Every structure is written in structure tokens, then in C-alpha cells.
Chain A
Amino acid sequence: MNKLHVNPAYCKGCLICVEACPTKAITPCKSINAKGYTLPEEDDMRRCTGCMLCETVCPDFAIAIESDEDQGD
């Protein structure tokens, strides 16, 4: 299963990734972080197809998807 990595130091909580995700595998976090931003979090990563659209549209280079191949079983 693909894994979502969000860098809390870079993410500014614009949530464009959540809007762009075609399968809605990611969702806004229920709580805010120390900077006051709402970060994206995993909703149901079984829906993630690994299209990497969230990585491509991220304005802050904060999000990364670790696919099965990256994890090496």
C-alpha cells in the first residue's frame, strides 16, 4: 500500500493536494499544527493509485508518496 509523507516544516496547508486527488485517498487533518496550518493526512490509502498528482501540484514541495516499489516489500 502506498504511504503518504507530509513534511510539516514545508507544508503550508493549502490543501490543493486534497482537491487534486482523483480518488480522495487523502483528507484534511482534523487538528491544526503548531503554525496553525491544516495538513493533509491519509484517509484510505487503499484508494491511492500512485498517480503522484498530489506531488506534482504541491506548491511547497512538502508532499511525497512512497509507493510499494520504494518500500521494497
Chain B
Amino acid sequence: MKKHPMLKYLKEEAPAGPRLPLIMCPGCGAGQVLNYALHAVDTLIREDGLRKEDFVFISGVGCSSRLASHYLNFDSGWTLHGRALAVATGALLANPGLKVIVLTGDGDAAAIGGNHFIHACRRNLNMTILCINNGLYGMTGGQVAPTTPIGRTTTTTPYGNVEEEFDLCRLAQTAGAAYVARWSTAHPHQTIKTIIKGIRKKGTAFVEILSQCPVHLKTAPAEMFRDLKKNTVPLKKAGKSEAKGRIPVGVFCDIDKPDWVTRYQEIIGRLERVESTHE
């Protein structure tokens, strides 16, 4: 029987027994995002001549964060809640040649790890942040999150959410990330292309992927997949009447500016020159 092509990057067997199937609920978007990320990494390994050792996956805590160290056959870290970006910063500064990919959820990146997220974008660290945004706290029982859309019913907002949601893409753009994009799990090829560009980008690449939580939103996964396609609109058409009430998706910004490591190495180079003139 032919196997899924991305299974070569996953740990099917571990000393304690088989790791797969994934622990996620049926139809969870986290598995899809992992699939897209692995497609992107596969393309980079084939086209850019990168090796498996050049990648490191870091995750925090939450549904989405189970993906990294548990299943991936790459170097990976399963870290503290919200602190994935802090650990990823450390990994990057220890070995600036690494391709750091952070798998994080909306609760992990926007709620508890909000400050780490802003400052990672501000420093323009050379890493790729994949934020799986399902608009609620899935692992703890479907409570309202900062990214829950206004009016959505969750377990802690049974009559609808009264708060405005957090627009993570605009936040990342304002904070200074070099590459910011938003897609949904219903845009597979766009997401894969964006992740490839994000990993190749020198600087912070933030990709928000709108995802579905079929269990807590009590909808069939296939229906949610269809709805995600229906409720999103390309960024070009965002101002038009057809975009009313729909979420804009696309590449928000793609700018070239020096990243943290480049600036730091410039200072080191300058000091070395000063030192050599004094000798």
C-alpha cells in the first residue's frame, strides 16, 4: 500500500510504541497545517539543497504545539506555554544558520505569549512563525480567546462574544515583521507557497493560518472547510462590497530590511576592525 509522501518526515514508531495516528480530533486544522509545513520543507530540501539538520521546529503549549517534538523527525523543542518564540530566539542566536520554524496556536502566540510575539517581530529575527488560529482555546475546552470573532458562541460566551478580535497580521506588520501573510486551511497551495517564501525570507515571517475546530464549534469538518473558503476574500478585493463580513487573506507585507543577526554581525565586524587598527 502506498503511504502518504510526508510520512517520511514523521516519527511513526518510537521506543514507547507507535506515535501515529495524530492525537488531534477528527478534522482538526492543526494536522493540515503540519501537512502544509512539511510540503514546504520538502520543497526546500529538494530545491534549495537544505538538509534535515538545517531545520528546527519549536512549539509552546496547546493543541497546535503537540505537533513539533511529538511527531516530527526533525530537531524540535516542546517548550513552555507562550515561550516558544523566546526559545526559538535562543536557538537562532546559538546557531544563526538554522531555519527556525515556530508552530504555535492563537492562544500561545496572541494571549499568553503576546509580548514575546511583538518583540520577535520588532527584532526581525530570522524565523518563520506559523500561527494556527482556530479562534478559541481548544485544548482546555473551547473557551473564548483574544482571537475569537465578535458574536461567536463558545463555552464561556454562551450568548455570543462581546469583544473585538485581535488582528494578528496587522499587529505583526505594525511591530515590524518583514513578511506577513494570512491564509486558511482551505487554501493549501497558497499556504505552502507562502511558507516556502517565509522560510527563504531573511527576517521574521509571520504566517497566520485560519483553522477549524470541529469539536468545539460543533460543525462537520468538511462543512467548516467549505465555510473557510466562503468566508475569506483576497486582500485585493478587501475594500469592495463583496468583502463585507469576510476575512481578508493574502500577503500583507513583504519588505526587505536587515534582520537582527545581520545587524549584530555588522557590529562584531566593526569592533574587530577597530581592534586590529589599535594593535
Docked CA distance A12–B5 (Å): 18
Most chain B CB atoms below 10 A, which of A16, A53, A70 = A16
Docked CA distance A14–B29 (Å): 11
Docked CA distance A34–B5 (Å): 26
A1-39 near B? 1/0 per residue, CB < 8 Å: 001010101101111101110000000000000000100
Taking a contact as CB atoms under 8 Å apart, the answer to whether A59 and B22 are in contact is yes
Taking a contact as CB atoms under 8 Å apart, the answer to whether A58 and B221 are in contact is no
A57-73 near B? 1/0 per residue, CB < 8 Å: 11111111110001000
Knowing A14-B222, A15-B221, A20-B225 are in contact, say whether A55-B24 is a contact too (CB < 8 A). Answer: no
Knowing A14-B222, A56-B188, A56-B189 are in contact, say whether A63-B4 is a contact too (CB < 8 A). Answer: yes
Docked CA distance A56–B30 (Å): 13
Taking a contact as CB atoms under 8 Å apart, the answer to whether A59 and B32 are in contact is yes
Taking a contact as CB atoms under 8 Å apart, the answer to whether B222 and A57 are in contact is no
Selected from A3, A13, A15, A57, the residue in CB contact (under 8 A) with B35 is A57
Complex contacts, B1 vs chain A, CB 8 Å: 5, 7, 64
Q: In the complex, which residue of chain A has the Cβ closest to the Cβ of B18?
A: A9
Q: In the complex, which residue of chain B has the Cβ closest to the Cβ of A53?
A: B188
Docked CA distance A56–B4 (Å): 9
Selected from B7, B31, B39, the residue in CB contact (under 8 A) with A59 is B31
Taking a contact as CB atoms under 8 Å apart, the answer to whether B28 and A59 are in contact is yes
The answer, yes or no, to whether B195 is at the interface (CB within 8 Å) is: no
Docked CA distance A57–B3 (Å): 15
Selected from A5, A18, A56, A58, the residue in CB contact (under 8 A) with B2 is A5
Docked CA distance A63–B34 (Å): 15
Taking a contact as CB atoms under 8 Å apart, the answer to whether B4 and A61 are in contact is yes
Docked CA distance A37–B119 (Å): 44
Docked CA distance A57–B189 (Å): 9
The answer, yes or no, to whether B62 is at the interface (CB within 8 Å) is: no
Taking a contact as CB atoms under 8 Å apart, the answer to whether B27 and A66 are in contact is no
For window 21-60 of B, CB contacts with A under 8 Å fall at 21-22, 24-32, 34-36, 39
Complex contacts, B2 vs chain A, CB 8 Å: 3, 5, 64-66, 70
Most chain B CB atoms below 10 A, which of A14, A56, A59 = A59
Most chain A CB atoms below 10 A, which of B4, B10, B25 = B4
Docked CA distance A34–B213 (Å): 24
B198-227 near A? 1/0 per residue, CB < 8 Å: 000000000000000010000011100110
Selected from A9, A10, A18, A59, the residue in CB contact (under 8 A) with B29 is A59
Selected from B20, B34, B36, B226, the residue in CB contact (under 8 A) with A10 is B20
Q: Name the distance in Å between B263's Cβ and chain A's nearest Cβ.
A: 38
11 contacts between A and B (CB under 8 A): A5-B3, A14-B214, A18-B222, A59-B27, A61-B4, A61-B6, A61-B35, A64-B3, A64-B4, A64-B5, A66-B2
Closest 6 interchain pairs by CB?
A: A59-B31, A14-B27, A12-B26, A19-B222, A14-B221, A61-B4
